[in-house]
Chain A
Amino acid sequence: MSPAASTSSSAQGGSSASPAASGRTFLDIRSRVESGYSEQGLLSVAFHPGYAKNRLFYVYYTNKTGDIEIDSFRSRSGRALASSRKQLLVVNHRANDNHDGGQLEFGPDGRLYAGTGDGGSGGDPPDNSQNLSRRLGKLLRLNGGRWQVYAYGLRNPWRFSFDRANGDLYIGDVGQNAWEEIDYRPRAATGLANFGWSAYEGLVPYRPSRLKQAGTLLKPVQVYGHAGGNCSVTAATSIGVTRCRRRVDVTSTATTARA
């Protein structure tokens, strides 16, 4: 890979670079963002599919109280309008500073999706992820102004994406102590999906008695172990899933990354 100059990227402390190549700051919400711990911060920016006309975009961040917050903004002349901020979601996350989730994406249905973490600590002590009444450890979908649970059983899905060609969903879910996982759900699938955490870590039972029966249990399509083999150098973490079909070389595959 080679360094590039343009496109939109967010800085963890809460500023965001311009979507144009001007290099100037597009959005500055540092005063709203808590980034004291490495998993906190301004974690995602998603542009509305109609952004070219409506100038509407969305941000996912850890707010100053430690909660997950999703806001929308509009831009004018290549800069976000601070006064246009609308709060769309706040999820209490004060108990712990880890597992903040973070991804925002528009799906093939044109709706906004957000990946939330399980609330943090380790092992999901309050059993948030398998609890459908809580918005932690979930893939949420904004539908007609209301957030629905689209999938559950996630630990910290801070990066996921939809295949730009066919709408299939890929999630990189961070493991507990042993297994990182890649979750997959084809667009044609219907109904609620349960990706297993914290009943399972990867393919292995973790707290199996917690498993809820609602929807369909989907086991990961790929797991990566921390010990031995490919991941022995550092503690492995799935941090992203994306697809790129445009090229015909090695990049024309689902690409996952770990650090």
Chain B
Amino acid sequence: MIWSLRISGGKAVDNRSESSRVSSLSSFGQAANGDLYAVSLEGRLYKLSN
């Protein structure tokens, strides 16, 4: 499962579960342009897209 939150005034707000799913997620990564990736221990690399 992927959850998201953001920081406002030093506190976490908008904590919520996202619809994206990555099985056996082991890490996020970012490209130089800010694109967000996720990797799975099952061997796949994912890119988050709109």
Footprint of B on A, CB under 8 Å? 1-5, 7-9, 12, 44, 159, 161, 164, 168, 182, 184, 186, 221-222, 224, 230, 239-242, 244-247, 249-259
A12 contact set on B, CB distance < 8 A: 26, 41
Residue of B nearest to A1 (CB): B46
Interface string of B12-44 (1 = CB under 8 A from A): 101101101111111111110111111101001
Among the listed B22, B34, B44, which residue makes an inter-chain contact with A245, where contact means beta carbons less than 8 Å apart?
B34
Residue of A nearest to B37 (CB): A7
User: Is the pair B47, A8 in contact by a Cβ cutoff of 8 Å?
Assistant: no
Question: Given the known A-B contacts A2-B49, A247-B50, are A9 and B29 also in contact in the complex, defined by CB atoms under 8 Å?
Answer: yes
Question: Given the known A-B contacts A164-B34, A253-B5, are A186 and B10 also in contact in the complex, defined by CB atoms under 8 Å?
Answer: yes
User: Is the pair A253, B25 in contact by a Cβ cutoff of 8 Å?
Assistant: no
Q: Tell me the interface secondary structure of chain B in the complex.
A: strand
Among the listed A7, A182, A186, A259, which residue makes an inter-chain contact with B5, where contact means beta carbons less than 8 Å apart?
A182
| Interchain CA distance A244-B38 in the complex, whole Å | 12
- Top 6 A-B residue pairs of the complex, sorted by shortest distance between their CB atoms: A4-B47, A1-B46, A246-B34, A242-B28, A222-B12, A221-B12
Footprint of A on B, CB under 8 Å? 1-7, 10-12, 14-15, 17-18, 20-31, 33-39, 41, 44-50
| Interchain CA distance A186-B18 in the complex, whole Å | 25
A8 contact set on B, CB distance < 8 A: 29
User: Is the pair A3, B45 in contact by a Cβ cutoff of 8 Å?
Assistant: yes
Given contacts A3-B47, A161-B28, A184-B7, 18 further A-B contacts (CB under 8 A): A1-B20, A1-B22, A2-B47, A2-B49, A3-B44, A9-B27, A164-B34, A240-B38, A246-B35, A250-B18, A251-B36, A255-B2, A255-B36, A257-B1, A257-B22, A257-B25, A259-B25, A259-B26
Residue of B nearest to A8 (CB): B29
User: Is the pair B30, A230 in contact by a Cβ cutoff of 8 Å?
Assistant: no
Among the listed B2, B24, B30, which residue makes an inter-chain contact with A164, where contact means beta carbons less than 8 Å apart?
B30
User: Is the pair B49, A256 in contact by a Cβ cutoff of 8 Å?
Assistant: no
User: Is the pair A253, B28 in contact by a Cβ cutoff of 8 Å?
Assistant: no
User: Is the pair A240, B50 in contact by a Cβ cutoff of 8 Å?
Assistant: no
User: Is the pair A239, B26 in contact by a Cβ cutoff of 8 Å?
Assistant: yes
Residue of B nearest to A259 (CB): B25
User: Is the pair A244, B48 in contact by a Cβ cutoff of 8 Å?
Assistant: yes
Question: Given the known A-B contacts A3-B44, A184-B7, are A242 and B26 also in contact in the complex, defined by CB atoms under 8 Å?
Answer: no
Question: Given the known A-B contacts A222-B15, A254-B4, A254-B6, are A259 and B46 also in contact in the complex, defined by CB atoms under 8 Å?
Answer: no
User: Is the pair B6, A4 in contact by a Cβ cutoff of 8 Å?
Assistant: no
